[in-house]
Amino acid sequence: MATETAVKPLTAFGYVTFDVVGTLIDFEGAIKDGLAEIAAKENVDVDGEAALSVYRDARYEPGAGLFPDDLGRCYSRIAEAFGLPDTEEYRQLMIERVGDAKPFADSAEAMAKLKARYKLIAMTNARRWAFEKYAEKLGQPFWAGFTTDDTGCEKPNPDYFQQVFDYVAKDGGTKDDILHTAQSQYHDIGISRELGMTNAWIQRRHAQKGYGGTIEPKEYTEPDYHFHALIELAEAADKAFEA
């Protein structure tokens, strides 16, 4: 599935910025797998999708920490909801499992294709230690990478985006040269529209109900480009450049 409503063709950009967790990396799958591992040890049934809802609510409580370190605290909320033991061992297990989350099946191939066309920039709400693991699994496609350790804030804070704009400016580019690509309406698509960027929504959960582990936006933002998988964007870019 691919929908294009952008006024700019894909050939107009020199940079593509990416949300990483949820767009390139399957963090929801890692949360479910970690919980399934714990549940099997404790002989407890845990509904993965229901657990993601608890995680989402916990993730946005006052005093939430940085991802994925905050999985320990969030696990405590999940443990309480599903009758799992809340131990330091299991808290650490969840942090490690999400820190080692795998890319979506199409991510590495798509990023390799896009790297041949653009300078790729990571904009992740993950900490640097986790991002470095994710980047390695993706084949090190990034020209530059920004994490919460670098920016001191999380998306959708406009200051995060401004730091990226400033970095691109040193390379001779502007925000008009950037295509912002992400799955989160709340963290990325809405704010990128407010900031005047062109965006591409990778709707990873198109076949599932709800927002999973990602906070629900106050309102839906119509993206400039809309794909169900990242490989669709990469193939569209190849087609545009080869036309």
| Host H or E run for residue 231 | helix 230-242
Point out the least confidently predicted range of 1-10, 64-73, 146-155, 201-210: 1-10
Task: Answer yes or no: is pLDDT of 19 > 90.
Answer: yes
pLDDT tens digits, one per residue of 63-74: 899 999 999 999
DSSP 213: T
Pair 108, 139: CB distance under 8 Å: yes
pLDDT tens digits, one per residue of 127-155: 999 999 999 999 999 999 999 999 999 99
Angle at 138 between CA 222 and CA 70, to 5 degrees: 75
Task: Answer yes or no: is pLDDT of 230 > 90.
Answer: yes
Q: The pTM is what?
A: 0.94
| Host H or E run for residue 181 | strand 178-182
Task: Answer yes or no: is pLDDT of 117 > 90.
Answer: yes
Whether 159 is a known active-site residue: answer no
Point out the least confidently predicted range of 12-16, 73-77, 148-152, 217-221: 217-221
| Dist CA 230 CA 236 (whole Å) | 10
Point out the least confidently predicted range of 4-8, 28-32, 114-118, 232-236: 4-8
Of 172, 170, 131, 168, nearest to 150 (Cα)? 131
| Dist CA 203 CA 213 (whole Å) | 14
Query: Which pLDDT value is given to residue 74?
Result: 97
DSSP 163: H
Pair 192, 201: CB distance under 8 Å: no
Average pLDDT estimate for 184-210? 88
Q: What percentage of residues in the chain have a pLDDT greater than 70?
A: 92
DSSP 21: B
Pair 19, 164: CB distance under 8 Å: no
Angle at 110 between CA 118 and CA 240, to 5 degrees: 55
